[in-house]
């Protein structure tokens, strides 16, 4: 039986990826106990460029009960095993940040310290040789994830590249079937309760008024409720992450569907390449302080695999976070809560993560301030960790061949990141919280990939015999290569599993 203070009605404003993810997750989790309405405006439209994800998307899809094959067909998805970074360390460098973790599926002690010990003695290969996802990505091979910890494939994990507009439609169909009511219309006014400033109701352009106990702001960069109505404030992080524009264009797919995203350095930023079943998504994320829209567009169009399939789209953003993702009875998700450039494909995940936390902190109509503060602290911690991880890519470059790269290599960085780099340089130590989004393997991939080389390693690693350890590493490398050999080719796997549209 429901408590009399229970939330009875929820209104989500915005029907982009964030809005429909919120609708699907809240409807699935809350059952029929509360009414859920979603308001979206076709006239305003959506951003619709989020095409690359990280493996946690599998948990989101499982949370709401999406069937993988149908979801992949309907969103024309491909599998993603990591991100290839081209030119990020120095102009010639090329490394992969693979999903999963380095090392064997069974124990090899403190793998990365042993690796650093062998590397120091010239007895180890590139770190990528010890990653199952990394080797599979390079060979264009994939597998189904397994939950069996005894299987060598337990170190294999994947995410998706998908058409974000189709994903939104898929989630919409799903949510409407579960009873989410969609209202088409533009919110033009917001009424606040006089006694406490909580949101009371929204007025649509056609004169309708909609009220609710809890409002979810998914209105994109404008943050109509969280900022427009509640003036929550925004922490601007563009001094650390100076890219502030993107130009995006899809092109014809040429050649096989690579199971990884590619990020290639350009003069004032970087270019993404995201392979889908029916086309390849491309975009140049750049800083308007260091290049012009015209040059950026030309650069992008000159660097496509195949013929463009549409006119280039231009997007503007300010990197940063809303000071509070949850203010009074409004929770902001997606671009309304802040934006970090898509270098590590984290935005859609932040929507997922915000929703999981919202369910953990689900309020009643008293809206306990301590509950809201704790939610905000957790959301903000995660955003700061992701921010630091992204800044690392820029900070650790050795490039100085354009004004932009000279600037990002020398710009001040947050203390939290400076400390992480310092202890890694000193003794190869990776310090992180256990539930951080990016695992130690991810930090290791980017540190070493960008050329941050530790001066030393944990002296306890010297207790292992170097020759024996080198033999175990060589055996691991052979085992990974043999396993990859047995894995199907990406497209063959999609076809066999009825995942191709
Ligand atoms: P939007 O898509 O902007 O949706 C806003 C919604 O609000 C729309 O439905 C609009 O109609 C509605 N709305 C606004 N105002 C009103 C109003 N007054 N009344 C009614 N409705 C209103 N993320 C990733 O995870 N991976 C990526 O690879 C990735 N790449 C990106 C590349 C770029 C260049 C950018 C800018 C973003 C990228 N993202 C990526 C982020 C991703 O696109 C977004 O996180 C995601 O699409 C969620 O957007 P949204 O739903 O918050 O906002």
| Mean pLDDT in residue range 348-372 | 98
Known catalytic membership, residue 80: yes
Q: Residue 150 — very low, low, confident or very high, per pLDDT cuts 50/70/90? A: confident
Tell me: ipTM over 0.90.
yes
50 lines ligand 1 (CB under 6 A): yes
The arrangement of strands across the sheet holding 199-204 comes to 187-192, 199-204, 209-211
Q: Residue 107 — very low, low, confident or very high, per pLDDT cuts 50/70/90? A: low
Q: How far are the Cα atoms of 54, 56, 147, 197, 487 from residue 151, in angstroms, in the given order?
A: 22, 20, 8, 55, 14
Q: Which residue has the higher pLDDT, 2 or 59?
A: 59
**CA 16–ligand 1 middle distance (angstroms):** 5
CA distance 414 to 388: 7
Evaluate the CA torsion angle 457, 460, 461, 463 in order and state its sign: positive
300 lines ligand 1 (CB under 6 A): no
Give bridge partners of residue 11 from the DSSP assignment: 37, 215
Q: What is the DSSP string of 71-104?
A: HHHHHT-EEE-EEEEESSSSTT-EEEEESS-SS-
Q: Residue 340 — very low, low, confident or very high, per pLDDT cuts 50/70/90? A: very high
Measuring from atom 31 of ligand 1, which residue has the nearest CA? 50
| Mean pLDDT in residue range 317-331 | 98
Q: Residue 155 — very low, low, confident or very high, per pLDDT cuts 50/70/90? A: confident
How big is the CA angle at 222 (ends 217 and 226), to the nearest 5 degrees? Answer: 40
183 lines ligand 1 (CB under 6 A): no
The overall longest dimension of the chain from CA atoms, in Å, is: 77
CA distance 254 to 430: 39
Q: What is the DSSP string of 195-263?
A: TT--EEEEEETTS-EEE-SEEEE--GGG-IIIIIIT---EEE-TTTS---EEEEEEE---SS--SSEEE
Determine the 3-state secondary structure of 68 from DSSP: helix
CA distance 296 to 303: 11
CA distance 351 to 359: 12
Mutation test of ligand 1: which of 219, 228, 273, 349 has the most ligand atoms closer than 8 Å to its C-beta? 219
Domains and CATH numbers, the chain: 9-51+163-235+319-367 (3.50.50.60), 98-158+392-490 (no CATH), 245-316 (no CATH)
List all residues 6 or more positions away from 489 whose beta carbon is below 8 Å from its beta carbon: 140, 141, 142, 256
Determine the 3-state secondary structure of 35 from DSSP: strand
Residue 2 has pLDDT above 80, yes or no: no
345 lines ligand 1 (CB under 6 A): yes
- CA-based nearest residue to 244, from 272, 220, 273, 268: 268
CA dihedral 103, 342, 390, 429 (to 10 degrees): -10
Average pLDDT, the chain: 95
Per-residue pLDDT, 3: 82
Q: Residue 103 — very low, low, confident or very high, per pLDDT cuts 50/70/90? A: confident
Per-residue pLDDT, 435: 85
335 lines ligand 1 (CB under 6 A): yes
The per-residue pLDDT for range 11-45, each reduced to its tens digit, is 999 999 999 999 999 999 998 788 999 999 999 98
Q: Specify binding-site residues.
A: 15-18, 80, 187, 335, 344, 348
**CA 380–ligand 1 middle distance (angstroms):** 19
The per-residue pLDDT for range 259-309, each reduced to its tens digit, is 999 999 999 999 999 999 999 999 999 999 999 999 999 999 999 999 999
Length of the chain as a residue count: 501
| Mean pLDDT in residue range 348-352 | 98
- CA-based nearest residue to 52, from 202, 376, 273, 302: 273
The per-residue pLDDT for range 426-454, each reduced to its tens digit, is 999 999 888 899 999 999 999 999 999 99
The per-residue pLDDT for range 201-258, each reduced to its tens digit, is 999 999 999 999 999 999 999 999 999 999 999 999 999 999 999 999 999 999 999 9
């Amino acid at each position: 039986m429901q408590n009399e203070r229970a939330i009875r009605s929820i209104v989500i404003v915005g029907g982009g990826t964030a809005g429909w993810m919120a609708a699907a997750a809240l409807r699935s989790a809350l059952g029929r106990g509360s009414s859920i309405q979603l308001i979206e405006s076709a006239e305003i439209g959506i951003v619709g460029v989020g095409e690359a994800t990280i493996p946690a998307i599998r948990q989101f899809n499982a949370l709401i009960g999406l069937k993988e094959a149908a979801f992949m067909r309907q969103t024309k998805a491909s599998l993603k095993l990591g991100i290839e970074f081209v030119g990020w360390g120095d102009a010639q460098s090329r490394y992969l940040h693979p999903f999963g973790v380095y090392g064997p599926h069974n124990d090899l002690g403190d793998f990365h310290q042993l690796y650093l010990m062998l590397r120091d003695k010239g007895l180890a290969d590139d770190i990528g040789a010890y990653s199952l996802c990394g080797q599979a990505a390079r060979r264009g091979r994939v597998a189904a994830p397994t939950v069996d910890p005894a299987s060598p494939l337990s170190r294999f994990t994947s995410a998706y590249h998908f058409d974000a507009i189709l994903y939104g439609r898929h989630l919409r169909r799903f949510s409407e079937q579960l009873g989410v009511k969609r209202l088409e219309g533009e919110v033009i006014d917001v009424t606040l309760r006089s006694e406490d400033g909580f949101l009371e109701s929204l007025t649509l352009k056609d004169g309708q008024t909609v009220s609710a106990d809890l409002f979810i702001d998914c209105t994109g960069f404008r943050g109509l409720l969280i900022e427009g109505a509640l003036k929550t404030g925004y922490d601007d992080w563009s001094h650390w992450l100076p890219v502030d524009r993107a130009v995006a264009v899809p092109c014809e797919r040429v050649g096989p569907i690579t199971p990884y995203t590619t990020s290639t350095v350009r003069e004032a930023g970087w270019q993404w390449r995201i392979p889908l079943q029916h086309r390849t998504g491309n975009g140049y994320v750049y800083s308007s302080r260091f290049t012009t829209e015209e040059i950026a567009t030309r650069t992008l169009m000159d660097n496509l695999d195949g013929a463009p399939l549409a006119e280039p789209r231009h997007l503007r953003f300010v990197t940063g976070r809303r000071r509070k993702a949850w203010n009074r009875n409004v929770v902001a998700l997606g671009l309304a809560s802040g934006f970090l450039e898509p270098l590590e494909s984290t935005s859609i995940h932040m929507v997922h993560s915000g929703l999981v936390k919202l369910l953990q902190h689900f309020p009643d109509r008293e809206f306990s301030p301590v509950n809201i503060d704790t939610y905000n602290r957790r959301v903000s911690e995660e955003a700061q960790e992701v921010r630091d991880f992204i800044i690392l890519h820029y900070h650790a470059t050795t490039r100085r061949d354009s004004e932009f790269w000279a600037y990002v290599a020398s710009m001040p960085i947050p203390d939290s990141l400076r400390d992480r780099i310092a202890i890694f340089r000193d003794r190869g130590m990776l310090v992180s919280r256990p539930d951080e989004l990016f695992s130690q393997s991810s930090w290791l991939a980017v540190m070493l990939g960008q050329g941050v080389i530790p001066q030393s390693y944990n002296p306890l690693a010297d207790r292992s015999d170097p020759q024996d350890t080198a033999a175990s590493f060589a055996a691991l490398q052979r085992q990974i290569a043999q396993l990859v050999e047995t894995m199907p080719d990406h497209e063959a796997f999609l076809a066999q599993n009825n995942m191709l549209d």
